[in-house]
Structure 1
């Protein structure tokens, strides 16, 4: 399976505390209509930390069913509990997802050897393409480029990484250590174009929930060799990217989709609605971008 281009880290719409299946299916459909290259249910943006296992599986199942093979689906299936990660990854495979996005164990803070052992244990039970999700800002653990190279060499399932360090030096070292056949995906909307320039394959994006066409067109322009157009879109997206992080993700992106009339912007505790001043700022940025 070829993972290239703009993949949206899908929000999970809720209504009165429950999954809003109708809004979720409509969101998936709109993403595909807008030219997105792939979809990622149950990532950080999908509030996976507050989904029950039954809901988690339901969200993946709905996404795969709605997509119907038109674009790849990389299902969030990670956990800080290796046994739980195996269970969720097995479900992702059974649901016919094309790959699994596996976060590095958070809170336990494993060593680099522990990280390798974690992914080996999952691969021993479930064989499918794995994208390692490296987001030290949320997990407290950084997967070093040399560790990714070890995983690539010893675990055939590890085909790539979602690098959410926003550290271009480290991102470059990942390419240096792992080579051009490793799928390097940006995990920060700010670093997509620089990541592509050094050999990255794309992005797992938050902002593409609200601007799927712009993000997918930026990737398309880059791969077509039109760097000027890619750069133009990079700067056009910049204010929106900043807006998505006015507060903790996915508070702003869900609020934005609510303003756009695409879903009810309901969050689960401990996430709370956007502060008033940030709400006004977000609306202003969306207006300037022609999205509301």
Structure 2
């Protein structure tokens, strides 16, 4: 799975002011990310607001991105949920040929035990016709997929090939890196600690901010992978203020304000999310104007 090395972007779903999907803006964002040098695209992750999309809208997003990408970069599809059998059924019935892997989040809301998490992903691994990236994001799921559980899955199922680790805990990431199977990828799911994870041995990142600053962020990750530490941290510190800003009032409200500042898309989000306030809009706009020069 060399296609998972480097920077993947968790694409947003841009909306018009009437809250309908803006497919033209989505095409612009795909092209901006591809032209900026990222290595792969992730469709229908949390950043896509997929919890607010209908089934038809999800299909529209998928097809729009496939067509806009036009085979240029590998595609990863978000297929997850807290109803294990529903996820398995989708994997068995959907045409997965356009995708190199799926990204599947640890079950949220139900708050399963570690054994429950293991059994959930066991079913998904057995159902999936493509490799699986498991996704640990305790801030959203209310349960932390512990390294012991991740390593058990990695060793038991050959098609579980990676984890997107978004606990924001570099010590936990290092434990995974120390004990993982040789070909298993530890991918950062946290923009601020992505470089540190890469320097510790990680394979890269699935990023939010990289779709707004694809050139700068993807180059930072490549510098980290090539052990050019000083140059990599120069890029980290260039972007660190904006990384904080885009998550300050929730994701994807922050990154959508970056797109508005860039003229790529409107900053509209669907309830229960709301757009960032005027103060944060102004701060993001000022940052973008400096980087964009």
**Matching residue of 1:110:** 112
Unpaired segments ≥5 residues, structure 1: none
Alignment length, in residue pairs?
291
Residue 285 (structure 1) aligned with residue 273 (structure 2): no
**Matching residue of 1:119:** 121
The residue correspondences of 1:9-20 to structure 2 (distance < 5 A) are 9-15=10-16, 16-20=18-22
Residue 262 (structure 1) aligned with residue 264 (structure 2): yes
**Matching residue of 1:4:** 5
TM norm structure 2: 0.94
**Matching residue of 1:239:** 241
**Matching residue of 1:273:** 275
* Distance change >3 Å, CA 127–CA 257, structure 1 → 2: same
Task: For 2:81 and 2:70, locate their aligned partners in 1 and report how far apart those are by CA, in whole Å.
Answer: 27
Offset at residue 94 of structure 1 (A): 2.6
Cα deviations across residues 83-141 of structure 1 (Å, max 9, x unaligned)? 22224444665351111110001000111111111111122222211111100001001
Q: Which moved more, 1:11-20 or 1:280-289?
A: 280-289
Task: For 2:34 and 2:83, locate their aligned partners in 1 and report how far apart those are by CA, in whole Å.
Answer: 33
Offset at residue 24 of structure 1 (A): 0.8
Offset at residue 281 of structure 1 (A): 2.1
Offset at residue 75 of structure 1 (A): 1.0
Give 4+ residue runs of structure 1 displaced > 3 Å after superposition: 87-93
| Pairing partner for 2:99 from 97, 100, 107 | 97
* Distance change >3 Å, CA 109–CA 69, structure 1 → 2: same
Q: Is the 1:175–1:182 Cα contact (8 Å) retained in structure 2?
A: no
Q: Is the 1:133–1:162 Cα contact (8 Å) retained in structure 2?
A: yes
SS in 2 for 1:258: helix
Q: Which moved more, 1:34-43 or 1:57-66?
A: 57-66
Task: For 2:149 and 2:181, locate their aligned partners in 1 and report how far apart those are by CA, in whole Å.
Answer: 14
Q: Is the 2:154–2:181 Cα contact (8 Å) retained in structure 1?
A: no
Task: For 2:101 and 2:168, locate their aligned partners in 1 and report how far apart those are by CA, in whole Å.
Answer: 23
The residue correspondences of 1:91-240 to structure 2 (distance < 5 A) are 93-94=95-96, 96-240=98-242
Task: For 1:268 and 1:87, locate their aligned partners in 2 and report how far apart those are by CA, in whole Å.
Answer: 28
Q: Is the 1:78–1:89 Cα contact (8 Å) retained in structure 2?
A: no
Q: Which moved more, 1:34-43 or 1:119-128?
A: 119-128
Unpaired segments ≥5 residues, structure 2: none
Residue 36 (structure 1) aligned with residue 54 (structure 2): no
Q: Which moved more, 1:32-41 or 1:220-229?
A: 220-229
Q: Which moved more, 1:120-129 or 1:194-203?
A: 120-129
**Matching residue of 1:45:** 47
When the two chains are superposed, the root-mean-square deviation of aligned CA atoms in Å is 1.6
Cα deviations across residues 229-254 of structure 1 (Å, max 9, x unaligned)? 11111111111211111211111111
TM norm structure 1: 0.94
Q: Is the 1:189–1:206 Cα contact (8 Å) retained in structure 2?
A: yes
SS in 2 for 1:280: helix
